[in-house]
Structure 1
Amino acid sequence: MFQDLDATLKAMLSDGEAPEALRGADVSFVTPDKDFKPTRDTVNLFLHDVQENRMLRDQAPLLEHVVDDGFVSRRPPMRVDCTYLATVWSHKTEGVRTEDEHRLLGELFLWLSRFSVIDERFLQGSVAQPPQLHPLPTSVGQPKDSTGGMGQFWTALGVAPRLALSFNVTLGLQQPEEPERYPQVRDIQVQPSSSHPTLRGRLLQKLDGTAQPVPGAHVEVVEAGRDTVVGPLGDFSFAHLDFGTYTLLVRLAGRPDVRTRVEYVSGRDVHEVVLPQP
């Protein structure tokens, strides 16, 4: 995965609209230590930090409808911040080298800043297929610690400190695991119990002309002051609830609350709630 992200960034720098100096430079991803001595103008993108972005962590499962086979549920991809240290290296002599490196680094900064998310045309390998669930956001700036920490970094590499900028890409990594499978719901058997009645239901929404389950929403029986979370197949239930007329309140992030009245009686304890199209 990370090698395909490298290839994606290389495609960005070699794009026909990129500055000529960037297109003509070599692109390297090796560690820029004391043994790194390129013989041509080079842009070095050193991947030095990989961390999960917990601010973007999503706990809701991904449901996919498989025709005639029901549904599959899988965990959402992990959102991972990949931070590169970008440096430029000129092959020219000392007097001109610094000027060339500053010019090239400036063009690199401006080019990368054009992309708040990486354009799909640059995506390579496993970054492109299967498609990313979310766009790949980027940020460009100076290293997080540009004083003592960066000094120690260059000292550890055995080279003099260099002007550098950080480039961050947030990548989606799918867990390598088999999804959970759920059969297609073909019928519902109602078995009411007068001694321990249970109000049951399914929360659905219309998408592309078909009714799809809405997992993760909150359903509340207003009069009883009880609530529950809708299951993977859109199912919800309230046990030990007396027969009667109730108000079901549906809450779903990003959408208005929905209220519906249901007549809960013996022989009619399953109710479908269909949300309006978003």
Structure 2
Amino acid sequence: MFHDLDATLAGLLSSASAPAELRAAEISFRTPDKDFTPTPPTVNLFLHAISENRELRSSVPIMDRVDDHFLSGAPPTRVDCTYLITAWSSQSGDVKVAAEHKLLGATLLWLSTFRVIPDTALVGSLQNPPQRYPVPTALAMTPPDESLAHLWSALGTVPRPTFTLTVTIGMQAPDPLDPVSRVETIDIEGVSRTHPELTGRVFDAGLAAVTGASVSVLDENLDTTTDAAGRFRFRELAFGDYTLRVRVPGGPEVTHPIKYRETAQIHPVFLS
């Protein structure tokens, strides 16, 4: 996937609408160490940091519709890929400095126009399957408290002007998506402030309504039985904290503490 991101950025820098300086330059992703001595004018994009973007981390499952059903799975991991960008010229002296500064400035200005990388510019695994979220970019200068001196020292070369480009991509796990049943009906229950009632439904482990279950409010010695939709109701009950007990013939007995309020009149019970 990272090599496809390299190819995507190379395509942006060499596109027909890019500045002439970029179209004429070589685009390299090699490590700019002491052995990196390109002959033609070169823009080097060194991928030097990869990390998860925790601000964009999501716990909401993805959901794809296929015909009349849905497939659900874990959301993609959002990953920041940070490139260290430099410009290189084989000339010498002041001419070399001027050429590299001009090329670096053109690169910065061109990349600043892409707040989000267009879908049509993505290649390879970034295009198929499609990215589920836009692919944003962020340009930044090196903060004053984050010196790159140690990096240049490790590379064995002299420091040079640079800026960073961070691209955030989504990496999807290869696990297959799980089927999710289609919603057949939607049951909406209302509540009344003038005629409140404690109500709810009893469901089994498969989320099917349980008919004929015995429901009791233990604190008030009230009893009722669920109807064909698994629903129970208790009228003329003061708001307060109660404990519901649900009994199913041949099944387990379940107790369920509730807080019955004007704004909390519906209390479903799920049987394990």
SS in 2 for 1:195: strand
Q: 1:126-184: CA deviations, max 9, x gaps?
A: 1111111111111112134676x311110111101111111111111111212222344
Shift of 1:121: 2.4
Indicate the residue corresponding to 2:166 in structure 1. Answer: 168
Partner of 2:215: 195
Question: Structure 1 stretch 114-123 or stretch 155-164: which is displaced more?
Answer: 114-123
The correspondence for 1:177, drawn from 175, 178, 181, is 175
Residue in structure 1 matched with residue 76 of structure 2 by the alignment: 77
SS at match of 1:87: strand
**SS of structure 2 residue aligned to 1:37:** coil
Identity %: 43
Offset from partner CA, 1:83-135 (integer Å, 9 cap, x none): 00000101223231100001111111111111111122211111111111111
Q: What's the offset of the Cα at 1:80?
A: 0.7
Q: 1:85–1:143: 8 Å Cα contact kept in structure 2?
A: no
Provide the C-alpha distance between the structure 2 equivalents of 1:4 and 1:95, rounded to a whole number of angstroms: 36
CA contact (8 A) 1:13 1:22 kept: yes
Cα offsets for 1:48-84 (capped at 9, x unmatched): 000000011010111223324x322111111111000
Give the TM-score normalised by the residue count of structure 2.
0.70
Per the TM alignment, residue 200 of structure 1 is displaced from its structure 2 partner at its CA by: 7.6
Q: Deviations over 1:199-224 (max 9, x none)?
A: 989xxxxxxxxxxxxxxxxxxxxx77
CA offsets 1:9-55 (integer angstroms, 9 cap, x no match): 00110111111000110000010001101010000000000000001
In the alignment, is the contact (CA less than 8 A) between 2:209 and 2:230 conserved in 1?
A: no
1:218-239 Cα shifts (integer Å, max 9, x gaps): xxxxx7789xxxxxxxxxxxx8
| Cross-structure match for 2:151 | 153
CA distance in 1, matches of 2:261, 2:103: 72
Matched, 1:55 2:74: no
- Structure 1 gap ranges (5+): 202-222, 227-238, 249-260, 271-278
Larger Rg computed on CA atoms: 2
Question: Which ranges in structure 2 are unaligned for 5 or more consecutive residues?
Answer: 186-206, 217-224, 232-238, 243-254
